[in-house]
Chain A
């Protein structure tokens, strides 16, 4: 195609989008105009004569059938679910772990050999994490303690702070909560987290509560979907509390397998609580869609993120080498399912035409990648690691500003697993970028392999920057140096440069 024709197409595209997205209006207006003209032409007496000629039964049906259809449609339509508000756990500087401290602990404890320490050094440098990420109190010890009591202490600290914050923001009392869904993948004591919250906040005896364990880093959106489903059958105006967290204390890997050391370097303390309701009064967001995609039927996807024991009996999470390709595959499946639900008609038509063209005309025509920026203003991509964010930015063709929330959350909080999406949303609001009517796309990945996404629409943006970013948002965005520039990296971070052996 010549460049002049490409330029012409680019200029025509906005016109095309306006036409196709408003096709109903564009078709209906002239049609209505034609009908009115015809009616005017016929004259009022002629219209009345025609009207009396109709049989009453037909008139009745003509009025009743559409009304009945509309009523049935309205009743069977799922209730709209709103996000009243959300709150994230605010980290405390006394849990802070700078790079140097993390590396020194791994070095001083004799359980890690030099190769492992060198590997973790390189991982940390390229991870995209900053110097303010936090680990729980028990992991500031050499060696870190992984006992039950410390794990419970971490869980209680994170969950109770987030819920206290949320209840203060919304003014809701714990007795008004009807549904409670908690997800924490790698720590599931008895009694469960949900019971812990019931006990602490004295929830009502009739409240429905569930704890989801083992569902991986995408469990936050699974919890949201479960809460949404439960709200459909709960009384009108019911409130559901969704708590997403991950407890790191019991999961520190103490062995030497490189594939299992990565979570030690990336996972950090964090948690979030969100209040959903079918009552939209005072709500801030509306949940438009939740799409869940499972790839676990394929063995490679199933074993991609696998918790197991290494040769010496240390338990850790093994990340396979083809994690990125499986993630990309899962993402494609998810957006294929999500696309028709959220994309405007113009993009769907183009995608359909390109699909047909590839099938019918010529296989080598490049597939049209729908532009999701027409469907969403903001993107919250799970901050699983620098590589994950890079990969998604590439495949969704997003700009740096659109993935900024993910990168900055990774820098400031590390990978907080299922709650990272909420920290990213908090970043966008703290920066003041959220407007009424903006649509947000949350994408989470997790073991299984799962890719889950949710689409939100903003009703009322946050009034102020209060939240986990309150005292550091003015420092963001920061520039995260390129990991390929290795030597410069090491000198800047002051990390020891190991002699090349």
Chain B
């Protein structure tokens, strides 16, 4: 209902017809921003096993701002690209590993001693910087929002689509794309390598930058003594095996072939972006359903998607493929932690729909399964994966994955020049064939945004199925 109303009110179907072409983002200009003070010689940032577990994945965060009103106060006018870049220099002083580059440890001479560490990636903090991309879109923000509500998946062109590799030395860990719209609005798209931190870490990092852009003072750069960067925590003590149930082995999956220095997941299908918005009324309606009491919005929305996707994939993969899903729950990073708040501390686990196949199951039942999924620390998962973790591993997309990013938008708001974004989307890219979806609270209102990557051809059908399911509520 809601979506169709928007279409009617736009008044010009022709605009939407021409929309596909004029929504194109073009004119990309690349530049680099570096930390304002010298990090020092040979400062290395060690990557933990949990970090390396996620090296093939990327966090995509897009914030779309409307143009300031014509009668806006001076403090609320649009910021130029240079004004956006200015605070990045002291910002990168605080987050200097993000501006470093990946290296691999040299092969040890005595292979017997350190076989596992040979070629282990780490970050050399050489101040190489983050890449800034300036682009333009010929549509206005309003037209774009309409297209997003109509088709979804419009955020992908607003973040620079580049993976790490083929040369590790010259691959930035973060791309920031600033897209200007015809009306004067702006979109900020971040492409963040998951190896450096998870979704809350990335969100906290971006929010810090926004605070600097709004005039807060950065703390003075500290003298970065390599010795003050503590070594990675010792490997977690193995869990007491007697009480833990036998570990399911398909939380993470090795890639079909080694990816070398080109950190992209090889997939059998083309993966395309997908997004969907669930309004507050629809959420409330879901929660009124029998058996849905006590289950949170994440579980309800994910369950809807699970059931719909299971039905879509039943013809191709059969019923068994979508029985198992991966559940990822994010936690807030420790503020002021020794690792600068850049961690992969989220928890990963499984939910299995034994009994009736998920395509036919009740939404509330699936939601309960998701709520009850046993999750464990990424570090523990990495430790268990053992040698496989040193290789190339897929976490998001090994099987259909749901990521609970909860209140990440509220906790880390990106406020620029006194204005909040009109639309925010957090998603993951570089996922496996199973697909992945991130569920988080929307920018405005209390609905939920679902965004991620699915197989080619699935987004359209999934959106239709979800609309039907929500209308029936």
Q: Which residues does A use to contact B, with CB under 8 Å?
A: 93-94, 96-101, 104-105, 107-108, 131-132, 137, 140-142, 491-496
Extra inter-chain contacts (19) besides given A131-B127, A142-B30, CB under 8 Å: A93-B37, A94-B36, A96-B89, A98-B127, A98-B128, A100-B126, A100-B127, A100-B128, A101-B128, A104-B32, A104-B101, A105-B32, A107-B169, A107-B170, A132-B38, A137-B82, A493-B126, A494-B42, A494-B124
B297 adjacent to chain A (CB < 8 Å): no
User: Most chain-A CB neighbours within 10 Å: which of B30, B85, B101?
Assistant: B30
Are A96 and B36 in contact, CB atoms less than 8 angstroms apart?
Answer: yes
Report the Cα distance A137→B29, complex, angstroms: 13
Secondary structure at chain A's binding surface: helix, strand, loop or mixed?
helix
Interchain CB contact under 8 A, A131 and B38: yes
Cα A250 to Cα B33 with chains together (Å): 21
B468 at the interface (CB under 8 A from A): no
Report how far A98 CA is from B30 CA in the complex, Å: 17
Query: Does A104 contact B170, Cβ atoms closer than 8 Å?
Result: yes
- Which residues of A lie under 8 Å from residue B129 when comparing CB positions? 98, 100-101
A100, A105, A137 — most chain B CB neighbours (10 Å): A100
Q: B315 contacts which chain A residues (CB < 8 A)?
A: none
Which residues of chain B have C-beta atoms less than 8 A from A131's C-beta?
38, 127
Selected contact of A98 from candidates B29, B34, B86, B170, CB within 8 Å: B34
Write the nearest CB–CB distance from B82 to chain A, whole angstroms: 8
Which residues on B sit within 8 Å (CB–CB) of A93? Answer: 36-37, 89
Q: Chain B residues near A140: list those with CB within 8 A.
A: 31-33
> What CA separation (Å) do A97 and B32 show in the bound complex?
9
A493, B41: Cβ atoms under 8 Å?
Answer: yes
> Which residues of B sit under 8 angstroms from A108, Cβ to Cβ?
30, 170
Give the total of B residues in contact with A, Cβ under 8 Å: 25
Could you tell me the distance between the alpha carbons of A137 and B31 in the complex, rounded to whole angstroms? 10
Q: Chain A residues near B33 (CB, 8 Å)?
A: 140
A436 to B41 CA separation, bound complex (whole angstroms):
39
Given contacts A107-B170, A496-B169, is CB(A97)–CB(B42) below 8 Å?
Answer: no
The 7 A-B pairs with the shortest beta carbon distances in the complex, nearest first, are A93-B36, A100-B128, A100-B126, A494-B126, A98-B127, A496-B169, A141-B31
Please report the C-alpha to C-alpha distance between residue A131 and residue B41 in the assembled complex, in whole angstroms.
10
For B34, the chain A residues whose CB sits under 8 A away are 96-98, 101
Q: List 23 A-B contacts (CB under 8 A).
A: A93-B36, A93-B37, A94-B36, A94-B86, A94-B89, A96-B89, A98-B127, A99-B126, A100-B129, A101-B32, A101-B127, A101-B129, A104-B32, A104-B170, A107-B170, A108-B30, A132-B38, A140-B31, A140-B32, A142-B32, A491-B42, A495-B126, A496-B170
Chain A residues contacting B38 (CB-CB under 8 Å) are 98, 131-132
Residues on A with beta carbons closer than 8 Å to the beta carbon of B41: 492-494
How far is A199 from B86 in the complex, measured between Cα atoms in Å? 29
Closest to B103 in A: A494
B128 contacts across to A, CB distance below 8 A: 98, 100-101, 104
Which of B32, B41, B127 has the most chain A CB within a 10 Å cutoff? B32
- Please give the distance in Å from A254's CB to the nearest CB on chain B: 16
**A131 CA to B99 CA in the complex, in Å?**
15
- Measured CB to CB, the closest approach of chain B to A112, in angstroms, equals 12
Residues facing A in B363-379 (CB within 8 A) are none
CB-CB nearest in chain B for A104: B170
CA of A140 to CA of B82 in the docked complex: distance in angstroms?
Answer: 12
Specify which chain B residues have a CB less than 8 angstroms from the CB of A101 in the assembled complex: 32, 34, 127-129
Which residues in A have their C-beta under 8 angstroms from that of B101? 100, 104
Complex alpha-carbon distance, A104 and B82, angstroms: 22
The minimal Cβ–Cβ distance linking B317 to chain A, given in whole angstroms, is 40
B85–A142 contact, CB under 8 A?
Answer: no
Which residues in window 46-103 of B have CB below 8 A to A?
Answer: 82, 85-86, 89, 101, 103
